[in-house]
Amino acid sequence: MNEDQGLIKVLGNRDVLALAFGAMIGWGWVVTAGAWIMKAGSLGAMLAFLVGGTMVILVGLTYAELASAIPLAGGELYYAYKGLGRVPAFITMWAIVLGYVSVVAFEAVALPTVFQSLFGEAFLKVPLYDIPSSSGGEPQTLYLTWLAVGVIGSILIAAVNYRGLKLASFVTFVLTVLIILAGILLIGGSSFAGTTANMEPFFVDGVKGFFVVLVMTPFMFVGFDVIPQAAEEIDLPRKRIGQLLVFSVALAIIWYIAVIFGVSRVLDAQQLADSDLVTADAMKEAFGGSVLMKDFLILAGVGGILTSWIGFYVGGSRAIYAMANVGMLPEALGVLHERYGTPHRAILLIAVLTTMAPFFGAESLGWLVNAGGIGLVVAWLMVSISFIVIRKKFPNMRRPFKLSGGTVIGWLAVLLSLFVFVLYLPGMPAALSWPHEWVIVLVWSVLGVVFYFYSTKSFAKAGETGTERANRIMDEDLERIENEEEYY
């Protein structure tokens, strides 16, 4: 990283935990909990999230050790470079950027979709144009009001991130408190107003139902990996970085299980099937039909959209910033704002790319989450492999958060990542669709090749090729962070 500029250490315990937890909790828990229960049963769904979350913790543990040992912005870039080399490092980070940008774009489409769910046809004013259905169904009409909510929301979230991580983390913390309060009320209300009878059947379709929900769970925990992106801005002992990362995943596991418990106690099977906003309807039922409590939970759900939105903005902008600083993307993207200390050009780039998403309508939600999901899973796989290689190649590297058991957890994380990756392939439950989702992945891959060779050439300086300069900078960053004593 350039020595004349640097990211500012502003994040404490509360900020880091809210950032990671908030990134993992989006809108899905408000609308999807009913589907989990109907597919696997109440206990089956809870067990699936317990097992799935534990699997994700294995990947999180490899991240935790590496993030505490190498707390640099764009952490995965350095893990993969140290373990596997420059080209794998680029592949890892380019996959991550696809995942993060896709989630940011997803939230820009999700926000007006939520407004439409709340206000129905009354929200849809001034038709603009029709968007053909990719499934051959009726075309979707895009309305000005729907589009305006997505675009304005995108601009506001970009502005929050542009002004600095301290502001972004404060907003995230406030919204996270709102989400947790709603969860506590839901659990409390359902414990008194609900019945165990409503939770029956406890299991649906046995092992099959369990696995149907299990394959969904890894995607609900994406977001803990935002911490390595912001590691250079964390003002805490290095060991704490790893601890907070793992703890954030554990909190998310508790959250999803608690939501399933609360919903299943107050809504019976018919109510689950009839509801579009199951968790909100469960809150209403738990408090004697209170519309006010339902609206409060919906507000918390919108808070989940915003915390996820902010978190992935942080992750995506720091990933782009790190790549630009080592010559994998144009150098201009690696400049920090003089006043706010943010990678403002990277933030503006994400804003431009993702603010276009609402123009493609609600149908783009599925394309974005699936195409971005495979990118994040590729990153998990590369980090897990890097963890194993670094353990072998650098046994004496200082590791403030060191896992016991050698590379066993790393191998388990590799197997999990491969398992999830296979789910995206043709014929599998989460297979990417043609043409939209595969086209996004293929176009992104081609852009990556173009940027890689262009940036390598443009990054060259007198006496050094672009590759030599990039390797030197990354080696210097790794040596600097290894010798830094203050945060050990």
Note whether 203 and 40 are within 8 A (CB): yes
Listed in sequence order, the residues at least 6 apart from 384 whose beta carbon sits closer than 8 Å to its beta carbon are 59, 62, 410, 413, 414, 416, 417
Q: So what's the pLDDT on residue 488? A: 64
Tell me if residue 131 falls in helix, strand or coil.
strand
Q: What torsion, rounded to 10 degrees, do the Cα atoms 145, 151, 153, 156 define?
A: -140
Q: Are 262 and 194 in contact (CB under 8 A)?
A: yes
42-69 vs 364-393: helix crossing angle, rounded to 10: 50
Stated pTM of the model = 0.89
The verdict on domain 13-483 having CATH code 1.20.1740.10 is yes
Tell me, what's the pLDDT at 486?
A: 66
pLDDT of the chain along its 488 residues, tens only? Answer: 444 457 888 899 999 999 999 999 888 888 889 999 999 999 999 999 999 999 899 999 999 999 999 999 999 999 999 999 999 999 999 999 998 998 898 889 889 988 888 888 899 999 999 888 766 678 889 999 999 999 999 999 999 999 988 899 999 999 999 999 999 999 999 999 999 999 999 999 888 889 888 888 887 888 999 999 999 999 999 999 999 999 999 999 999 999 999 999 999 989 999 888 899 999 999 999 999 999 999 999 999 999 999 999 999 999 999 999 998 998 899 999 988 889 999 999 999 999 998 998 887 777 777 788 889 899 999 999 999 999 999 999 999 999 998 899 999 999 999 988 888 888 886 678 888 889 989 999 999 999 888 888 888 888 888 888 889 999 999 988 888 776 66
Amino acid letter, residue 393: K
Q: What does the block give as tokens for 399?
A: 């590791």
Residues 6+ away with beta carbon under 8 Å from 432? 370, 371, 374, 424, 425, 426, 438, 441
Which of 18, 55, 6 lies closest to 418 in space, CA to CA? 55
Give me the pLDDT at residue 2, please: 42
Q: How do the domains of the chain map onto residue ranges?
A: 13-483
DSSP class of residue 234 equals B
- Helix, strand, coil percentages (3-state) for the chain, rounded to 5, are 75, 5, 25
pLDDT of residue 150: 94
Decide: 111 and 299 in contact? Cβ < 8 Å. no
- DSSP structure class, residue 300: H
pLDDT at 393: 94
- In degrees and rounded to multiples of 5, residue 42 shows phi and psi of -65, -55
**Is there a contact between 380 and 420 (Cβ–Cβ < 8 Å)?**
yes
Residue 196 has what pLDDT?
92
3-state secondary structure 336-353: CCCCCCCCHHHHHHHHHH
